[in-house]
Amino acid sequence: MALKVELKPNERIIIGACVVTNTDQRARLLIDGDRIPILREKDILTPETADTPAKLVYLAVQLMYLSPDPVAHHLTYFSLLRDIMSTMPSGWSFIEGINNHILNGDLYHALKEAKKLIGHEETLIADAKSLQADDANIELKSA
């Protein structure tokens, strides 16, 4: 069964090892093939945009997903896991899900689970900023 993808004007998509850029009009593609890595522009992270530990994990999984040799990226991935688990142990359930998908060779779903890890990290950061703002307000009131 073919995958139907609708691209916005000038939107990019990765299909296999190719980057396809749409023209200035909407386009609809039917992509047929077995286990071809496909990533829409909104789901692509670059080294410049991977600016948090969870985003770096996503980037490592993304590289595995797009690579003809995913194992080549395992060392980087596992190194990042050690770092993230020391700073965000509450992310373990997401990491476990990512690992299970990687072990089963289902890198697309590992990528989706890594996106959930990013969401969890964003929630933790927002909560920390909120607490920090509350502490600052308390200090101002008591001064």
pLDDT at 122: 96
Three-state DSSP at 39 gives: strand
What is the distance in angstroms between the CA of the first residue and the CA of the last residue of the chain? 67
Please tell me the distance from the alpha carbon of residue 67 to that of residue 50, in angstroms, as a whole number.
Answer: 18
Residues in the chain: 143
pLDDT at 135: 67
Say whether both 80 and 24 belong to one domain: no
Predicted TM-score (pTM) of the model is 0.87
Please tell me the distance from the alpha carbon of residue 98 to that of residue 3, in angstroms, as a whole number.
Answer: 24
Say whether both 62 and 23 belong to one domain: no
- Burial annotation 54-64 (CB, 10 A radius, 16+ → b, else e): bbbbbbbbbbb
pLDDT at 136: 66
Domain residues for the domain of 20 are 1-41
pLDDT at 34: 82
Three-state DSSP at 21 gives: strand
User: How many structural domains comprise the chain?
Assistant: 2
Say whether both 50 and 119 belong to one domain: yes
Please tell me the distance from the alpha carbon of residue 18 to that of residue 110, in angstroms, as a whole number.
Answer: 21
User: For each of the chain's 143 residues, which pLDDT tens digit applies?
Assistant: 788 999 999 999 999 989 999 999 999 999 998 888 999 999 999 999 999 999 999 999 999 999 999 999 999 999 999 989 998 999 999 999 999 999 999 999 999 999 999 999 999 999 998 888 776 667 667 66
Say whether both 135 and 105 belong to one domain: yes
pLDDT at 21: 94
Say whether both 28 and 78 belong to one domain: no
